[in-house]
Chain A
């Protein structure tokens, strides 16, 4: 069968295709897998309880399994290392697990956490020395993930 296209049809077809693709909402679903945790993350934690405050900033490197490979931090003004840790990533972006630091062998375990749709940020509430703290982790490498 011989196909015939008039001059204007390629333009129309291309525009229709583009319009359909562009119509995908910004909040489309995302698929998460454990490997999305791999890489370097900057970590920021803040919490307060009665007259005590705690704050931490540092860097962690996680492997494909979400396990801590290396990392250092400053906790309440004291420089120290991350001793260990592991983070889990659920299929909907939920974060579990925790990170342990040298000072007092303190563990910041996620009570609730969420990776964003671009897979570059993690926000959550973690256990602290005295009371739950707010944690933010920001990916230091890689590109934002496209939406599925």
Chain B
């Protein structure tokens, strides 16, 4: 009887442990959650000016260590840094060069979702045009 009791107890504990990662409500965020490959999308508008940008980037220890895509119609590379608070708020900037020029997008308010695979943000570009950002995790 004692053996069966322990087995039931063990399986119960195992089931409880397995359920833990599926419960996003209490998800705690840590810096490494930013690490990996992301698809970046930005669109902004101010008065009569529009800016857009998209591409792939890789984050390691909060730094954008690789990335390329398109800034308006020009090919671009990415750099910059991102930070993540325990509550999932995202700060930082995504910058780049294109055709000899430079630009950057700065998060004013950003949030990672509980599944930690999408970031939605609002902010501005280097001209202070208001922008919306999305980062979608790809690995």
Which A residues are closer than 8 A to B by beta carbons? Answer: 5, 7-8, 10-15, 17-19, 21-22, 24, 26-27, 29, 46-51, 53, 92-93, 111-112, 114, 116-118, 121, 123-125, 131-134, 136, 144
Contacts and interface: CB of A to CB of B under 8 A. Distances in A.
A116 B117 contact: yes
Interface in B55-81: 55, 69-70
A26 to B, nearest CB: 5
B17 interface: yes
A123 to B, nearest CB: 5
Interface of B: 2-3, 6-7, 9-11, 13-15, 17-18, 20-21, 33, 36, 39, 41, 43, 45, 48, 50, 52, 54-55, 69-70, 115-118, 132, 134, 136-139
Given A22-B18, A114-B41, A123-B134, 4 more contacts: A18-B14, A46-B43, A114-B136, A121-B118
**Interface SS majority for chain B:** mixed
Contacts, number: 111
B109 to A, nearest CB: 17
B6 A112 contact: no
A8 B6 CA distance: 7
Given A13-B10, A18-B14, A112 B138 contact: no
Given A26-B116, A111-B54, A134 B43 contact: yes
